[in-house]
Amino acid sequence: MTDVLATLRARFLERCEDDVARLQDLLAQDDLGAELMRGLVHSLSGAAGTFGFPEISLAAGAVDDVFAVGGTPSHDEVDRLIRTMEAALVRPEN
């Protein structure tokens, strides 16, 4: 992995820490349709795969798909995304 890509990947993981906290707050507030939630999951859906985290991309994409058809994601869907992100944060770097 190039130094530039490694740096970008590290920044993505740092952002994920903040995003997990935001998603947890929205989940706790039962604000699953919030614009912040929509923006976070849409961004995660695209960026995660780019930086080598397909599991996050898939989980975020599932939530993003619910928004795309005018729905509101379930607690379980958002919780699955959070758990997927947390697992990536504790996984050792390759």
* CATH assignment of the domain containing 71: 1.20.120
Q: Looking at residue 17, what is its pLDDT?
A: 93
Locate tokens 């697992």: which residue?
Answer: 87
pLDDT greater at residue 36 or residue 91: 36
Q: Are 37 and 23 in contact (CB under 8 A)?
A: yes
Locate tokens 């795309």: which residue?
Answer: 68
Tokens matching residue 84: 């997927």
- The count of domains in the chain is 1
User: Which band of pLDDT confidence, cut at 50, 70 and 90, is reported for residue 94?
Assistant: very low
- Domain residue limits at 73: 3-90
Q: Looking at residue 1, what is its pLDDT?
A: 61
Q: Looking at residue 34, what is its pLDDT?
A: 84
User: Which band of pLDDT confidence, cut at 50, 70 and 90, is reported for residue 93?
Assistant: low
Residue 42, amino acid:
H
